[in-house]
Structure 1
Amino acid sequence: MKLFNNPSLLKDFNYPYEKFEDVPQQVFDLVNQDLDKISSDNPTVTILIAAWNEEINILRCVASLSKTLCNYPIEIIVVNNNSKDKTQATIDKLHVKGLFEEKQGCGPARQWGQINAKGKYVLLADADCFYPSCWVEEMIKILKKPDVVCVYGRYSFISEPGFPRWKLFILEKLKDIISEFRQLNRPYFNAYGISMGYIRELGLKVGFINDNFWGDDGQLCLGLMKYGKIKQVRSNKARAWTGTRTLQRGGHNFSKALTSRIVKEFNRFFSNFNSKLPDDSYRKTS
């Protein structure tokens, strides 16, 4: 986790292109060379990405994943969730398994992805994020432990004007502290598709919610709790990196985003100590 600067990996994959037509063929060729080195027809790990209108972001994400260093054969599945831009064209140029899901929502897209996955383990990644080369190794290392059925990792924000890195660092530290309290009885509030993994066989038993709502990832985690342990991957070097658009939702600047999150967490803080699980009507609210 960086205090003053964004990580160096962003410089390698944060391509300046604005649309699919701008991307030189050489960029795809270089990414595919790396993908061919790590991809397998008999994978242990499936990296599953749902993409909606992400024609350039999905290239950046897959490019970062192409540098994966791990001891497991992997496959990368990208599900085009009925995009209206050139997301499909980008997927077709990359050496990944491309799928299409017409029904809108990460839940339907991820469900179709896990049905078609070959790996024993599924790692969820977001199309607009960057991943360090150790991410797969660190996630699976915890997921393979006895009785563990699901893991989630930490993530950091990419600084930009109005959201300096040192302020984001403070926010992330607070978020990490809160996650420790959530882990006691509410780990599903920490489970986001930006960095999450689970045993595919059990994921198929639980299934993703077939609706377009925010929280399908936490809902899956909640369903998996009856099969075993949910663990947090605390490795800072394995953090995923994402933009600040979720912080800016509703026109928020940094101060408003921080205040909003503090209020939300305070309102439900004491529920972290209640071991009673919610029913199937659970929906993630932040």
Structure 2
Amino acid sequence: MFFSVIIPVYNRPQEINELLDSLVKQECKQFEVIIVEDGSEVSCKHIVDAFIDQLHIQYFFQDNSGQGFARNFGMKKAKGDYFVLFDSDCVVPSSYFRKLKEAIVSRKLDAHGGPDAAASDFSNFQKAINFSMTSFWTTGGIRGKVVDPKKYQARGYNMGLSKEVFEKTQGFVDANKGEDIELSIRIKDKGYNLELVREAYVYHKRRNDFNSFLKQSYSFGGNRVNVNRYHPGSIKLVHLMPMFFLLALVITVTSSMFCLPLLKLGATVFGLWTIGVFVSSSIHNSSIFVGMISIFTSYGQLLAYGLGLLVQLLKR
């Protein structure tokens, strides 16, 4: 099995260096790397050139079209049997391709999605964001914590598909609005086997500040509605939970004006949830400070996601 690694890049040359360095250290060396510069104003070509002697690597530049179409471009240039997609802000553990190959062969996979994790050298804020994006206290059940791996919908920061699957589906049909989830649904609808491979995780080194994190979470909520345009009925109850969380908080706050028992109930529920986030994150990250930050990032992630979902539902 020969892998083709597709990496779209947009104005982030500092990130691609860490990702390429992690690919050099892979135990399994049977892969090529295709960098697609998606109309960047700040090029990463000088970074890519530094790895020419260490990796089988190609660099392409195209006008800005969005990461979904940039990935399509890369897959059309690929020579591998199986295409692996990473975002530029990922770092890949050295055992990634060895474990992925084992899973593909043993489970007869046509496509896969992998989870993300926080490395020990991440900043406290990055660890808090990772917790908020992966914990069962927030939307982690949708992002790599599902019980049945067959129900997983792959995310573009860490997913893969065979050459045959790409040729049959023609890849992504949207540039940047839930395009990875839409493709996951279409792959399964065509009868291919796409599953979560938990051991094929990446360290997702997000560069967000709190404001950009909220904007990203808001867009994720809206993207779920966009996916529903292509696949009506794809919004399930679990996807609506952040919206219910938002509405419940609004009701709790406003109930102080007309219903004290309701206020007490809401305050108790949210208080217990907040304690749960703090304790869980503190234990997971071995840091009370990260646990405290996680309270803010978890509230922000759920509220922004829920608002984005609600706004787009109302627009539709």
The alignment's TM-score, normalised by the length of structure 2, stands at: 0.60
More deviation, 167-176/43-52: 167-176
Per-residue deviation, 1:197: 1.4
Q: Does 1:224 align with 2:264?
A: no
Q: Which residue of 1 aligns with 2:298?
A: 258
Cα 1:177–1:218 change in 2 (3 A) is closer
Q: Which residue of 1 aligns with 2:223?
A: none
Q: Is the 8 A contact 1:65 1:131 kept in 2?
A: yes
List gaps (5 residues or longer) in structure 2.
215-292, 308-316
Cα 1:224–1:266 change in 2 (3 A) is same
Number of aligned residue pairs: give it: 219
- Amino acid of the structure 2 residue aligned with 1:48: I
Q: Which residue of 2 aligns with 1:203?
A: 166
- Amino acid of the structure 2 residue aligned with 1:80: E
More deviation, 179-188/118-127: 179-188
Instruction: Give the SS at the match of 1:100.
Output: strand
Aligned-pair Cα RMSD in Å: 3.0
More deviation, 117-126/87-96: 87-96
Q: Does 1:61 align with 2:19?
A: yes
Instruction: Give the SS at the match of 2:183.
Output: helix
Alignment counterpart, residue 106 of structure 1, candidates 45, 49, 67:
67
Per-residue deviation, 1:137: 1.5
Deviation string, structure 1 residues 87-111 (Cα, Å, up to 9, x no partner): 1232233321112221421111110
Pairing of 1:146-225 with structure 2 (within 5 A): 147-157=108-118, 159-161=122-124, 163=125, 165=127, 168-169=130-131, 172-174=134-136, 176-178=140-142, 179-181=144-146, 183=148, 186-188=151-153, 191-225=154-188
Q: Is the 8 A contact 1:122 1:200 kept in 2?
A: yes
Per-residue deviation, 1:167: 8.1
Which structure is higher in helix share?
2
Q: Which residue of 2 aligns with 1:126?
A: 87
Query: Which structure would you say has the larger Rg?
Result: 2
Cα 1:167–1:119 change in 2 (3 A) is closer
Cα 1:228–1:142 change in 2 (3 A) is same
Q: Does 1:73 align with 2:30?
A: yes
Alpha-carbon distance in 1 for matches of 2:2, 2:61: 23
Alpha-carbon distance in 2 for matches of 1:94, 1:51: 16
Deviation string, structure 1 residues 159-216 (Cα, Å, up to 9, x no partner): 424x27478557634255444448577522xx11221111112112212335432322
Alpha-carbon distance in 1 for matches of 2:148, 2:300: 21
Cα 1:249–1:210 change in 2 (3 A) is farther
Per-residue deviation, 1:138: 1.5
- Amino acid of the structure 2 residue aligned with 1:204: E
Q: Is the 8 A contact 2:149 2:195 kept in 1?
A: no
Q: Does 1:241 align with 2:203?
A: yes
The alignment's TM-score, normalised by the length of structure 1, stands at: 0.66
Alpha-carbon distance in 2 for matches of 1:83, 1:224: 30
Pairing of 1:263-278 with structure 2 (within 5 A): none
Cα 1:182–1:51 change in 2 (3 A) is farther
Cα 1:146–1:182 change in 2 (3 A) is closer
Q: Does 1:93 align with 2:54?
A: no
Alpha-carbon distance in 1 for matches of 2:11, 2:205: 16
